[in-house]
Amino acid sequence: MSRTPLHPTREQIELPMVLDCLSDPIRLTIVYQLAQQERVSSELCCGDFNGLAGKSNLAYHFAKLRECGVMQTRVAGTNRFMRLRREDLEARFPGLLDAVINSAAKDADRLQLLSGCDVVDAESN
């Protein structure tokens, strides 16, 4: 396992890549859950998203989200903690992330954003 995964600089973040990244239902769910979690701890680890898809499939989506500059990964022991790159995204594309997240929240049931994710269960306790 390489120590710190590749992240693009703020200026390297491209609009089409971000939009494409967010257009996938699984990745949109991940981003949505990360946004919800910001009110609590701002970070989640990969395992919190088991239930959304298989581990290798999730790793694929995590890599995409990272490489597109949407989220950042921090390695801690055997865990990888992830958070949204809110400031960078806001600097590059003002209002975009919130518009997407709010739209996703509005359509939460339609998008099935809440299904199969440990995070929501934990939060509702």
Partner DNA sequence: CCTTATGTTCAACGTTTATTGAACTATTGC
Partner DNA sequence: GCAATAGTTCAATAAACGTTGAACATAAGG
Residues making contact with DNA (CB under 7 A)? 1-3, 5, 20, 24, 26, 45-47, 53-64, 73, 77-80
96 sits near a second copy (criterion: CB under 8 A): yes
Tell me if 97 sits within 8 A of 89, measured CB to CB: yes
Among the listed ranges 17-25, 55-63, 72-80, 117-125, the one in contact with a second copy (CB under 8 A) is 17-25
74, amino acid identity = R
Burial of 32 (0-12, 13-18, 19+ CB in 10 A): buried
For 79, the 3-state DSSP assignment is strand
Q: Cβ(93)–Cβ(101) under 8 Å? A: no
CB of 124 to a second copy, least distance (A): 24
Q: How many residues bind a second copy (CB under 8 A)?
A: 26
Residue 74 near residue 68 (C-beta atoms within 8 A):
no
The one of DNA, a second copy, none whose footprint includes residue 98, by CB under 5 to 8 A per kind, is: a second copy
Sign of the CA dihedral 63, 64, 67, 73?
negative
Is 19 a binding residue for a second copy by CB under 8 A? The answer is yes
- Which residues bind to a second copy, rule: CB under 8 A? 14-17, 19-20, 22-25, 28, 92-96, 98-100, 102-104, 106-107, 110-111
